[in-house]
A and B are shown apart, each in its own frame.
Chain A
Amino acid sequence: MRLQKNTSLALYSVIEFAIDPARRISAAEIADKYGVSSHHLAKVLSELARAGVVESVRGVGGGYRFSGNARRLTLMDIIQLFEDFDPRARERREPKELTAVDMALGAVLSEIDEIAKATFSSITLATMLRLIERQQSGATTAAVRQDGERTAVRPGIPRSRDRKSNGRRKLA
């Protein structure tokens, strides 16, 4: 399963919002952090808002904040907003045009997709936040071990409080 750029951007954005549900974050802030255009991100955020995952906040600067249930919302719920998993959408040929090789390869590829879907469906945002915390504490422990003293480590997804000191990330 190869996720489109919009889907990755949606996942990163939702995690940013869920880390601090009370905080309003502007599209420009996330766009700047991940090196994408605000225009591009606006489409992703408006889709997330339409689905009720985030809500737009009016007022000076505007922006969005998290409005989903982190214990219920899974990564798959987010991914499904942006990806079409219907195999017919991928396959442009009629079933009668498919060879045995096409079908055998299709069976292997769909096996991989099914495992990916099960993984995404089983990970809630609350679980993701815990995984991030574990990564952060693991990275900190590793740095302490390496330096012999406490060292600030920048994780992949920083806590929103640290956002200013975090470098810009570029989504692949």
Chain B
Amino acid sequence: MTGLEKRSYWRSVYRRYGDAEQAGRKFLVADAGGRVVGFVIGEVRDWEFGSQPCGWVFAIDVRPDIRRSGIGTRLLEAICASFRRAGVRKLRTMLARDNTLILSFFRSQGMMAGLFIPLEMDLET
């Protein structure tokens, strides 16, 4: 999405989330005949600023050649079911506002703007 390679970051995500479910961490893959065609990663976060714990999805993707066949929907449904079993009742995510493809996907699943507004600033060097 950003075009930046973050190999070590994703390796550490795989180590922390991919090996086994622990402490509310979820890493689900869509398997089609032994071939991984999509994945979703998230976790239960206690969250800050007085919010209740929520299910936080921070990565989802489906192979471009088989998009629009419902795999993303099934992945999201599966992780939501997993969050529900963990006792949370809210799903959250955050992405760049020009990422229309994934924004549209989450919108199609019923997600709306939440109560939180992301803020940022450039740090002067």
| Interface of A toward B, CB cutoff 8 Å | 71, 74, 114-115, 118-119, 121-124, 126-127, 130, 134
Interface residues of A, dominant DSSP: helix
User: Which B residues, 90 to 125, have Cβ-Cβ distances below 8 Å to chain A?
Assistant: 97-98, 100, 103-104, 106-108, 110, 113
Question: Provided the pairs A114-B97, A115-B97 are in contact, do residues A122 and B110 lie with their beta carbons within 8 angstroms?
Answer: no
- Docked-complex contact A121 and B110, CB < 8 angstroms: no
**Interface residue range, chain B:** 10 to 19
Q: How far is the CB of B34 from chain A (nearest CB, A)?
A: 30
Q: Which of A114, A118, A126, A134 contacts B103 (CB 8 A)?
A: A118
Q: Which of A118, A126, A130 contacts B98 (CB 8 A)?
A: A118
- Docked-complex contact B110 and A130, CB < 8 angstroms: yes
Q: How far is the CB of A127 from chain B (nearest CB, A)?
A: 5
| Interface of B toward A, CB cutoff 8 Å | 68, 97-98, 100, 103-104, 106-108, 110, 113
CB closest chain-B residue, reference A134: B110
Known contacts A122-B100, A124-B107; 17 additional CB pairs below 8 A are A74-B100, A74-B104, A114-B97, A118-B98, A118-B100, A119-B113, A121-B100, A121-B104, A122-B104, A122-B106, A122-B107, A123-B104, A123-B107, A124-B104, A124-B108, A127-B104, A127-B107
Q: Which residues of A contact B107 (CB under 8 A)?
A: 122-124, 127
Q: How far is the CB of B92 from chain A (nearest CB, A)?
A: 16
CB closest chain-A residue, reference B97: A118
Q: How far is the CB of A126 from chain B (nearest CB, A)?
A: 7
4 closest cross-chain pairs (CB), A and B: A118-B97, A122-B103, A122-B107, A127-B108
Q: Which residues of B contact A119 (CB under 8 A)?
A: 113
Q: How far is the CB of B78 from chain A (nearest CB, A)?
A: 20
| Complex CA distance for A2 and B14, rounded to whole angstroms | 45
Q: How far is the CB of A100 from chain B (nearest CB, A)?
A: 19
| Complex CA distance for A130 and B111, rounded to whole angstroms | 11
| Complex CA distance for A118 and B117, rounded to whole angstroms | 14
Q: Which residues of B contact A124 (CB under 8 A)?
A: 104, 107-108
| Complex CA distance for A130 and B73, rounded to whole angstroms | 14
| Complex CA distance for A74 and B105, rounded to whole angstroms | 12
| Complex CA distance for A119 and B95, rounded to whole angstroms | 12
Q: Which residues of B contact A121 (CB under 8 A)?
A: 100, 103-104
- Docked-complex contact B97 and A130, CB < 8 angstroms: no
Q: Which residues of B contact A127 (CB under 8 A)?
A: 104, 107-108
Q: Which residues of B contact A123 (CB under 8 A)?
A: 104, 107
Q: Which residues of B contact A134 (CB under 8 A)?
A: 110
Q: How far is the CB of B83 from chain A (nearest CB, A)?
A: 20
| Complex CA distance for A123 and B107, rounded to whole angstroms | 6
CB closest chain-B residue, reference A118: B97
